[in-house]
Amino acid sequence: MTAPRRDTRGIVDARGLLTQVRFRRRLPAAPLRPYVEHYWLIDWDLAEPYATHVVPHPSVNVVFQRYADRRGFGEVAGVGLELFSQKLVGRGRVCGVQFRPGGFRPFAPGRPVTDWTGRRLPLDAVFGSGERPGCRADRTEGSVGRAGWDAVRPEGDEGDAFRPDGCAVAHGVLEPADEDARVAALDAFLTPLLRGGPRVLEQAELAVRLADRIRRDRTIRRVAEFARDEGMSVRALQRLFAGYVGVSPKWVLLRHRVHEALERAASGAEADWAAVAAELGYSDQAHLIRDVTATVGVSPTAYGR
């Protein structure tokens, strides 16, 4: 891979977003690339608030954020199961790490990736308080909420402040004006965390390959057929995805179908949704419309409008 991918798949109204923010993708250091898809960098300076929406990929993200004059912070965002929305106001910056589906486990090998699915947690709740320099920080709007912190607070800790959330790391990532320096800071943060043993790395690389095949191979229609083609039982495939991707292979397959349908809807061309449904492996048009509506709240035709 010599350049990050350039598509905007999953970003709702990508053209509108790109008129409001400066958005770039950058490649990580070479040793990280088998597991990290890209870094994503966003800066904005807005006169009026703007709401952005994303249909998440089956990927874990590490996100460093700074809004207005608030202190920057970092968090781990597990695979998002629902439409993600964020209101951007004033001036701000985000530096994110999008892991390949299946690629996060070597950086936090002690627990299955399903433990993070649908959750946003402080860095130290995932990587451990002794791994990275940090500081105690007051709760910051946009950071992990009380319910998320209570879920990981050590027994007997009744304090209201966060555990160290890597804010020293966040400062190093978010503060440089030079974009190359921000990328270098992300490389420096991640490289020491790549500590999974041979078995974890082997399984992660398998999960990455299988998840990538689901994304690229439009002929895959059924999980059972896919597992058989890969010489695996369905149960073994499900266990692998639970431990390393964070969602089931069926969920990954359905999410890529929805992404593809939304791309067709956003293209501006008149779509034959019955034909699109058949091409994507749906039994009928109604099932496709149901999945898209459940994900973004409106039908494919309304989404296109």
Q: pLDDT tier at 1 (50, 70, 90 boundaries)?
A: low
185 and 138 within one domain: yes
User: Could you report how far apart the first and last alpha carbons of the chain are, in Å?
Assistant: 35
Query: Domain boundary residue among 193, 224, 243?
Result: 193
205 and 189 within one domain: no
Query: Domain boundary residue among 153, 171, 193?
Result: 193
256 and 209 within one domain: yes
What pLDDT does 67 receive? 85
Consecutive H or E run containing 229: helix 223-229
93 and 38 within one domain: yes
Number of domains composing the chain: 2
Q: Which two tokens stand for residue 251?
A: 């969920």
- What's the rounded Cα separation, in Å, for the pair 37 and 302? 31
Closest CA to 7 of 256, 213, 275: 256
Q: What's the mean pLDDT when you consider all of the chain?
A: 86
Q: Which two tokens stand for residue 203?
A: 């399984």
Residue 8 within any structural domain of the chain:
no
Distances (CA, A) of 289 to 175, 222, 257, 298, 300: 44, 19, 11, 9, 7
Residue 83 within any structural domain of the chain:
yes
DSSP for 89-118, please give it. Answer: -SEEEEEEEEEPTT-SGGGSTTS-GGGGTT
Residue 3 within any structural domain of the chain:
no
148 and 254 within one domain: no
Residue 4 within any structural domain of the chain:
no
Distances (CA, A) of 284 to 231, 277, 279: 29, 6, 10
Q: pLDDT tier at 135 (50, 70, 90 boundaries)?
A: very low
Closest CA to 215 of 7, 40, 67, 51: 7
Q: pLDDT tier at 162 (50, 70, 90 boundaries)?
A: very low
What pLDDT does 166 receive? 65
Residue 80 within any structural domain of the chain:
yes
pLDDT in tens, 31-75: 999 999 999 999 999 999 999 999 999 999 999 999 877 789 999
Residue 5 CB-density burial (10 A; 0-12 exposed, 13-18 middle, 19+ buried): exposed
pLDDT in tens, 246-304: 999 999 999 999 999 988 888 877 888 999 888 888 888 999 999 999 988 888 888 88
pLDDT in tens, 169-197: 898 999 999 999 999 999 999 999 998 89
Q: Find the CATH number of the domain harbouring 281.
A: 1.10.10.60
167 and 74 within one domain: yes
Please state the length of the chain. Answer: 305
- What's the rounded Cα separation, in Å, for the pair 144 and 147? 8
What pLDDT does 114 receive? 98
Amino acid at 215: R
What pLDDT does 149 receive? 32
What pLDDT does 296 receive? 87
251 and 187 within one domain: no
126 and 41 within one domain: yes
User: What's the domain range around 83?
Assistant: 14-193
157 and 172 within one domain: yes
283 and 171 within one domain: no
260 and 147 within one domain: no
153 and 126 within one domain: yes
**Cα-Cα-Cα-Cα dihedral of 214, 215, 217, 223, to 10°?**
20
Query: Domain boundary residue among 193, 213, 240?
Result: 193
Q: pLDDT tier at 225 (50, 70, 90 boundaries)?
A: very high
What pLDDT does 3 receive? 78
